[in-house]
Amino acid sequence: MEQIRKFAKYFKPYKWTILAGIFFILCSMSFGLFIPYMVGKAIDDLTLGITREKIIYYPLVILGINLMSGIFLFFQRRLLINTSRHIEFDMRQDFYAALVNQSAEYFQANRVGDLMARATNDLAAIRQIVGPMILYSFQAIFALCISLPIMLNISVKLTLLLLIPMPLVSLTVKFLGGQIHVRFEKIQAFFSDITARAQENLTGVRVVRAYAQEDAEIEEFQKLNREYALRNIQLVKFGAAMRPLLFFFIGLGFVIIVAVGVPMAVRGEITAGDFTAFILYLQRMIWYLIALGYVVNLYQRGTASLKRFNEILEAEPAIGDAPGAVEQPPVEGAVEFRDLTFAYNGKAVLHNIDLMIEPGKTIAFVGKTGSGKSTLVSLIPRLYDAPDGEVLVDGRPVREYPLAQLRKSIGFVPQETFLFSDTLAANIAFGVDTNGSPPYEGGVAAASADGVVLSAANEIAGSKLENHPPAKAVPLLRKEGSLGMTVERAATIAGLADDVSEFPGGYEQLVGERGITLSGGQKQRTAIARAVMREPRILILDDSLSAVDTYTEEKILHNLRGVRSGRTTLIVSHRVSTIRDADLICVLADGRIIERGTHDELLELDGEYADLYERQLLEEELEATE
């Protein structure tokens, strides 16, 4: 019941629509259940004498009643089924928003395949609670409420005899319904495993092919698929058993009624018309009692899925706006690490980092893999949360800024580039908000609070489209940031413009899922263009030139010098050539800054940086002689 209580909030915006639908159910059932009465009356009347008027009158009346019942049936289904789609839309929006706001740790602990299964299979099962379950439940309730008084009026004795098989009906529903709930919950969890397996294999299809593991992966998926099918077959057995058992026990009551009712009609205790009407009411009640068994099935499946759905909504984001965080003055770009010590999964990865970066300066970080460079720069936009007061922007702890304000001031290019399955222009313009309009139209895309990027097609389930008209194309090349940066300008700065001129579609070229049609270097340059397009006060490049050659790197760095002017820039790199012009270079080792200074100062120090520089010079000479 706790799950249903939480679910009830989705009904509130549509309560009047649902009540109207229930009213139409009552109207439809009232007309529909009036038919057996008219049939019984017609039989009794025609028994007294057949006339032309009676032959015309009764069929026309019954036809008219059926017509009215059908009209109200149309309206009840239209209102309730449409409402179920509206509620499904609202739930999907909440589900998506809950995921987008989660931290990186959440996506490391929860597989994407499992989350997608909850967004599809589980949500579809929950929707059945709103539409078909409400529809059939109230039909059954109204059928009992309307039919029982009429049947009692016809014969109290026959009506009471119907109660004999009812305990067996209740036990059947209780036992089989419980089995369905438990098994369906396990099946949904197993379906998440299958979805996750498929998603991982499709995402990593290049690795699967490279290691010639196609047959092995197909066989493994076949095992999971077979197990899923077997579990569903077991569930179907319980669902299939419920309906025949209900038919049998309710049919037992039918047999009792016939056995007792026919002699009563023969003796004249009830008329032939009343007995016929009683049988017709009983037939309708049987159908609606069977429908109640279906409702129990839907309820057990829906509540099992609702539990899994609520687990997502109830998961509190690990990183969010701190209590009392209010809009701060525009970010100037000063960054400070104040005796920063940071642990990840219980293991300290940064130790006693003290560093002050003035606005407009370019700071570079170098060091061996695992030295803490990426972690350090990720703490500025709060992709991970540092201890309070140890990371500051413009002299204020980053937690004092609302996340939206902080991150809008930062252009971040991560190590792992993610591109959406959209046009090149759309990917570059992603994240630019002009006068409140979306970054680009033609698709809905978002980045989660921790930099884990999710995307969703601009497809709305159900009929709630009046508030969401189809997206219209916008001239992305003319899209400008707050200071006039355009897509073409950003691409030129990132050294991508020459490549774009060779694409058949130019800036409208589709890049494929995760940018699969682009090379590694083109992906990185697209990500740089995306960050530059935002014209941020703080620009963070986390090893974002590793996939480009030295010539292209030099070209990009030259272009970025103009962009970096007046902006704080933090560059993480393994290449000395990338960072040699930085105002300050910090060398990290085991989470500590062991050297700092300009390029020339560090060479004179003849330490770790000088050793790295010499090794790279030697590598370049060896490559040149090959």
Residue 125 lies inside a defined structural domain of this protein: yes
Query: Which CATH number covers residue 602?
Result: 3.40.50.300
Q: Give the contacts of 219 (CB within 8 A, at least 6 positions apart).
A: none
pLDDT-derived band at 577, boundaries 50, 70, 90: confident
Give yes or no: residues 528 and 547 share one domain: no
Nearest to 127 by CA among 9, 299, 278, 247: 299
Whether residue 154 is predicted with pLDDT greater than 80 in this model: the reply is yes
The mean-pLDDT minimum among 181-190, 361-370, 459-468 falls in: 459-468
Give yes or no: residues 489 and 540 share one domain: no
Give yes or no: residues 477 and 549 share one domain: no
Instruction: Report pLDDT for 177.
Output: 66
Give yes or no: residues 403 and 422 share one domain: no
Boundary residue ending a domain (483, 517, 533): 533
Boundary residue ending a domain (261, 288, 314): 314
Instruction: Report pLDDT for 156.
Output: 85
Whether residue 388 is predicted with pLDDT greater than 70 in this model: the reply is yes
pLDDT-derived band at 356, boundaries 50, 70, 90: very high
Residue 294 lies inside a defined structural domain of this protein: yes
Instruction: Report pLDDT for 433.
Output: 61
Instruction: Report pLDDT for 438.
Output: 37
d(C-alpha 421, C-alpha 202), whole Å: 15
Give yes or no: residues 372 and 303 share one domain: no
Instruction: Give the count of beta carbons closer than 10 Å to the beta carbon of residue 463.
Output: 13
CB < 8 Å & 24+ apart, contacts of 338-341: 338/389, 338/390, 338/391, 338/392, 339/390, 340/376, 340/379, 340/386, 340/387, 340/390, 340/391, 341/387, 341/390
Query: Which CATH number covers residue 110?
Result: 1.20.1560.10
Bridge-based pairing of strands 347-357 and 335-344 is antiparallel
d(C-alpha 263, C-alpha 243), whole Å: 30
Consecutive H or E run containing 181? helix 166-203
Evaluated on CA atoms 506, 507, 510, 513, the torsion sign reads positive
Count: domains in the chain:
3
Instruction: Report pLDDT for 457.
Output: 29
pLDDT-derived band at 466, boundaries 50, 70, 90: very low
Give yes or no: residues 355 and 262 share one domain: no
Give yes or no: residues 178 and 286 share one domain: yes
Q: Which domain holds residue 67?
A: 2-314
Instruction: Report pLDDT for 586.
Output: 92
Model confidence pLDDT, tens digit, residues 84-130: 888 888 888 888 888 877 776 777 677 777 777 777 778 878 887 77
Residue 324 lies inside a defined structural domain of this protein: no
Residue 395 lies inside a defined structural domain of this protein: yes
Give yes or no: residues 21 and 100 share one domain: yes
302-312: burial string, b at 16+ Cβ within 10 Å, e else: bbbbbbbbeeb
Instruction: Report pLDDT for 337.
Output: 92
Whether residue 464 is predicted with pLDDT greater than 80 in this model: the reply is no
3-class secondary structure, 587: strand
Length of the chain: 626
More confident residue, 462 or 128: 128
The mean-pLDDT minimum among 19-28, 427-436, 520-529 falls in: 427-436
Average pLDDT over every residue of 416-436:
74
Give yes or no: residues 389 and 438 share one domain: no
Give yes or no: residues 451 and 367 share one domain: no
Residue 612 lies inside a defined structural domain of this protein: yes
pLDDT-derived band at 287, boundaries 50, 70, 90: confident
d(C-alpha 482, C-alpha 534), whole Å: 8
Instruction: Report pLDDT for 449.
Output: 32
Whether residue 518 is predicted with pLDDT greater than 50 in this model: the reply is yes
Give yes or no: residues 31 and 121 share one domain: yes
pLDDT-derived band at 448, boundaries 50, 70, 90: very low
Give yes or no: residues 103 and 216 share one domain: yes
The mean-pLDDT minimum among 58-67, 127-136, 162-171, 597-606 falls in: 162-171
pLDDT-derived band at 459, boundaries 50, 70, 90: very low
d(C-alpha 349, C-alpha 590), whole Å: 7
Instruction: Report pLDDT for 454.
Output: 33
The mean-pLDDT minimum among 28-32, 63-67, 468-472 falls in: 468-472
Bridge-based pairing of strands 444-447 and 453-456 is antiparallel
Instruction: Report pLDDT for 231.
Output: 81
Instruction: Report pLDDT for 536.
Output: 84
Residue 321 lies inside a defined structural domain of this protein: no
pLDDT-derived band at 371, boundaries 50, 70, 90: confident
pLDDT-derived band at 564, boundaries 50, 70, 90: low
Boundary residue ending a domain (497, 515, 533): 533
Model confidence pLDDT, tens digit, residues 220-245: 778 888 888 888 887 777 767 777 77
Model confidence pLDDT, tens digit, residues 20-56: 988 998 998 888 888 888 888 888 777 777 777 878 8
